[in-house]
Amino acid sequence: MADVLVYALHHDGAFNKNSLGAVCEGVARSAEIGGACDVVVVGGGDLTDALCATLGHHGARRVFRAQGPEGLSQPVIDVMDSVIAEHGHRYAIFGGGLLGFEIGAGLAARRQAGVTMEVTAVRVDPEHPGTLVAERPILGDSKISVSRYRGELGIIISRINAFEVRPGDGGEAEVLDVHVDYSPWSAQLEMLSRGEQRGAEVDIEGADMLVAGGRGLGKAESFRLVEELAAALGPGSAVAATRAVVDAGWYPYSTQIGQTGKTVAPKLYLAAGISGAVQHKVGMQSSENIVAINKDANAPIFEFSDLGIVGDLNKILPKLTEAIRARKG
């Protein structure tokens, strides 16, 4: 029997998509190795019994709830360390993102565990049934490396949103309060405020349709073309950007897609004036439909687009927006 422990982050009365994906992955993989998936949550009074129990909808067995500051890594490491010491979980799975990386790395150091980051798939080791291996793309995503874990604990940190959120059986998880004596260093940092990053009031990782702008837009003001198209597409749409654009200060960092930005998989990814560099591609290649507008017919983005439009985005974007508005009446 090998159980999996997952950390779930919550904000404003809901667990974030990245955490729920990790819970679903933990549930699916633990079932394959004869165990179950438990979840650790750390926070205040807003982590109610009812909210924590909803993790059972996705198949989680128990939720270990500790009072403490939410969104800081050290207290979570203390709680996970204590839960693992008592219950002997074999694997810990985290959704990617800065917090997941910090907690996963800290927990690995604390428990002297093996850790793999940027994982995109986890599966049962065919040579050692009852254990898991983690797959991680390397060398610009041209190859996959596979890690096997020795020792008592294996730590798996995914790419952001690499794991799909799957509906569970609708059951409720058992909620257990745990009391942990936090390490002295866990109290050395205080959260002053939590909230969305400036310009990120729209959840681009959860959006169904993304209109992404690249350097081909020419200047910050031209992002208006991209914003208007996203607005015409309606609710569920958001604007994204390349690193070239955010580095130039044309759009907020929170919208950057790619290797050093966010990983997304919307139903539609419309890329305007984006060349399709591999570092951008890795963040959006799982999108269901990729449409690219680029004036260069040889732009790499056309190699992995479902629909390519060769032309000037300054002419095409306004026409597309107009056509969508007309169609929507």
Ligand X SMILES: Cc1cc2nc3c(=O)[nH]c(=O)nc-3n(C[C@H](O)[C@H](O)[C@H](O)COP(=O)(O)OP(=O)(O)OC[C@H]3O[C@@H](n4cnc5c(N)ncnc54)[C@H](O)[C@@H]3O)c2cc1C
- Which lies closer to ligand X via its Cβ, residue 16 or residue 222? 222
CB of 140 to ligand X, least distance (A): 10
Shortest CA distance to 246 belongs to which of 238, 256, 234, 237?
A: 256
Shortest CA distance to 159 belongs to which of 200, 123, 121?
A: 121
CA atoms within 13 A on the CB side of 272: 27
Q: Looking at residues 118 to 177 of the shown chain, list those that interact with ligand X (rule: CB under 6 A).
A: none
| Maximum Cα–Cα distance across the chain | 63
- Which lies closer to ligand X via its Cβ, residue 26 or residue 261? 261
- Which lies closer to ligand X via its Cβ, residue 175 or residue 313? 313
CA atoms within 13 A on the CB side of 171: 12
- Which lies closer to ligand X via its Cβ, residue 47 or residue 264? 264
Dist CA 113 CA 105 (whole Å): 9
Shortest CA distance to 229 belongs to which of 125, 138, 309, 302?
A: 309
Question: Any contact of residue 248 with ligand X (CB under 6 A)?
Answer: no
CB of 288 to ligand X, least distance (A): 20
CB of 213 to ligand X, least distance (A): 8
Cβ neighbourhood burial of 19 (10 Å; 0-12, 13-18, 19+): buried
- Residue 284 belongs to what H/E stretch? helix 278-284
- Which lies closer to ligand X via its Cβ, residue 35 or residue 216? 216
Q: Looking at residues 228 to 247 of the shown chain, list those that interact with ligand X (rule: CB under 6 A).
A: 242-245
Q: Looking at residues 250 to 309 of the shown chain, list those that interact with ligand X (rule: CB under 6 A).
A: 256-261, 273-275, 277, 279-280, 283, 293-296, 299
Of 26, 35, 68, 216, the one binding ligand X (CB under 6 A) is 216
Using CB under 6 A as the binding criterion, the count of chain residues that bind ligand X stands at 28
Which residues lie near ligand X (CB under 6 A)?
A: 214-216, 242-245, 256-261, 273-275, 277, 279-280, 283, 293-296, 299, 312-314
